[in-house]
A = this chain, B = another copy of it.
């Protein structure tokens, strides 16, 4: 059963949406403002978000940006504002679709189906431990062991190593790595990557001059072989 989060501060709207969506066998939860929406995203882990634009505190565009920092959950924006400028702003903030009120419920449902269809299957939160070659990763504890002994990694270093590990053997382009660890807005910042690859190597490689685990493919990216 797919989960949908509705974000709107007008109860009559959320009530209508909830009823229609529930009737089509979606599991629905609602939030009335941006803050609680972000909280619900964490706890409820929805497959799709439908949000209003104008809300107290954090508006819908702000909300899109916050969500996009962490995840790629499809977002559909609903709004009474039909101005082109607003639409462009919302879409560029990370929204996947923008529907102007008033709208037909059948259209909304079709757009929900379309958004869910093309969404990447939610990568299940990796809880099991990965172990291969000289490496061992404990996700729950965020611990990494190399050749039997633990090494301390900063959060970003950990994310980078995990992504490399999950794609071991493959060459990952700079853009992909940046998108995975820093977010889609950072794909043009290869300096970050260089620095962090360097730091990681310092911690995991034995022979500094000849990396064994993190191999560089010049002009393309990096490849990890545990």
Contacts and interface: CB of A to CB of B under 8 A. Distances in A.
Contact of A110 (B87, B121, B184): B87
Interface string A14-56: 0000000000000000000000000000000000000000000
Contact of A88 (B97, B106, B219): B106
A140 interface: yes
Interface in A177-214: 184
A217 interface: yes
| Interface bracket on A | 35 or more
Given A88-B107, A121-B176, A142-B223, 12 more contacts: A84-B104, A87-B107, A88-B106, A88-B110, A91-B110, A91-B111, A96-B118, A97-B114, A140-B169, A141-B169, A141-B223, A154-B219
Interface of A: 72, 74, 84-85, 87-88, 91-92, 95-97, 104, 106-107, 109-111, 113-114, 117-121, 123, 140-142, 154-155, 169-171, 173, 176, 184, 217-220, 223
